[in-house]
Copies of this chain bind each other. A is one copy, B any other.
Amino acid sequence: MAKEITPRSENYSQWYNDIVVKADLAEQSAVRGCMVIKPYGYAIWEKMQSILDKAFKETGVQNAYFPLFIPKSFFSKEAEHVAGFAKECAVVTHHRLMNNPDGKGVVVDPDAKLEEELIVRPTSETIIWSVYKNWIKSWRDLPILCNQWCNVVRWEMRTRPFLRTAEFLWQEGHTAHATSEEAYAEAERMVNVYAKFAREVMALPVVVGHKSPGERFAGALDTLTIEAMMQDGKALQAGTSHFLGQNFAKSFDVQFTNKEGKLDYVWASSWGVSTRLMGALIMAHGDDNGLVLPPALAPIQVVMVPIYKSEEEHQAVLDKMYALKKALEAKGHSVEVDDRDTLRPGFKFAEWELKGVPVRLAMGPRDIQNGTVEVCRRDTLEKISEPLEGLEDRIIDLLDDIQKSIYAKALAFRDASIRKVDSWDEFKEEIEKGGFLLCHWDGTAETEAKIQEETKATIRCIPVDSAVCLEEGKCVYSGKPSHQRVLFARSY
Interface range for A: 35 or more
Which residues of A in the span 363-389 have a Cβ within 8 Å of any Cβ on B? Answer: none
A95 within 8 A of B: yes
A70 within 8 A of B: yes
Please judge, given known A-B contacts A91-B93, A118-B90, whether A66 and B36 are in contact too, CB under 8 Å. yes
Please judge, given known A-B contacts A31-B70, A92-B92, whether A97 and B87 are in contact too, CB under 8 Å. yes
* A74: B residues at CB distance < 8 A: 30
User: CA A102 – CA B422 in complex, angstroms?
Assistant: 50
* A75: B residues at CB distance < 8 A: 97, 106
Please judge, given known A-B contacts A105-B76, A131-B29, A140-B342, whether A91 and B92 are in contact too, CB under 8 Å. yes
* A342: B residues at CB distance < 8 A: 140
* A155: B residues at CB distance < 8 A: 95-96
User: CA A346 – CA B247 in complex, angstroms?
Assistant: 40
Q: Contact flags (1/0) for A26-70 with B, using CB distance below 8 Å?
A: 010111001111110011011000000000000000111111111
A333 within 8 A of B: no
A432 within 8 A of B: no
Q: Is the CB of A69 within 8 A of B140?
A: no
Shortest Cβ gap from A2 to chain B (Å)? 18
* A45: B residues at CB distance < 8 A: 65
Q: Is the CB of B106 within 8 A of A72?
A: yes
User: CA A73 – CA B87 in complex, angstroms?
Assistant: 26
User: CA A88 – CA B95 in complex, angstroms?
Assistant: 6
Task: List, sorted by A's number, 10 A–B pairs whose CB atoms are closer than 8 Å.
Answer: A29-B127, A29-B131, A43-B63, A69-B90, A72-B105, A75-B106, A76-B105, A89-B96, A91-B92, A93-B108
